[in-house]
Amino acid sequence: MKNIKFNTVILFLSIFSVGILHSQTHPNRNKIPPNVKTQFHKEFPSSKIFSSNIKEINKALYYQIESVHNHKLIKVLYKKNGKRFQLEEEIDNSALPSIVKKAIKKNMPSYKILTSKKITGENKTEYKVSVYKDEEEYNVIISTKGKIKSKVRIDSKVDMGC
């Protein structure tokens, strides 16, 4: 269990470092409209932007800002007018609703929860849960009613170029 926590911390720090490097060299960073940045700083006044990007969803463009808020990683998508479209935030596994935990237990017996995120958008909330068993790991999107909306296997093999 300690090994899993250590690996999770290393993974988070790696992603954080890549995000910082990416944000410093990515051409879209400066294309985030000022009103979107202003809105982000209104909503999260103590948070600094460490990565930003333009993301396309269903043929619509959104401005994504990544940051750390209250010691948790957040990703916020904004429309061009500065209105928030979606917020994805890390949450403690203990904060998952019981119906979400039951859905995992029912559909993926003996899998353990690694990380949890709450995704709130326009008129809906979902949970993105990373689960593992042995050498299998999945990202699972679950509705607030306990319905599994997607399940994607994460390939844990890393090509070291050897």
Q: Helix, strand or coil for residue 12?
A: helix
Mean pLDDT for the chain? 85
pLDDT band at 135 (very low <50, low <70, confident <90, very high): confident
> What strands lie across the sheet with 148-154, from one edge to the other?
49-57, 60-69, 72-78, 84-91, 112-121, 124-133, 136-143, 148-154
Residue 17's pLDDT is 54
Domain 92-162: CATH class, spelled out: alpha beta
Instruction: State the pLDDT at residue 18.
Output: 53
Going from N- to C-terminal start, the domains of the chain cover 1-85, 92-162
pLDDT (mean) for 37-42: 95
As a whole number, mean pLDDT of residues 37-50 equals 94
Question: Cβ neighbours of residue 93 under 8 Å, at least 6 residues apart?
Answer: 113, 115, 116
* 72-78/112-121 β-pairing: unpaired
Q: What pLDDT score was predicted for residue 141?
A: 97
Instruction: Say what the pTM is.
Output: 0.75
In this structure, of 20-34, 43-57, 94-108, 130-144, the range with the lowest mean pLDDT score is: 20-34
Contact in structure between 137 and 130 (CB atoms under 8 Å) = yes
Alpha carbons 69 and 90: distance in angstroms, whole number = 10
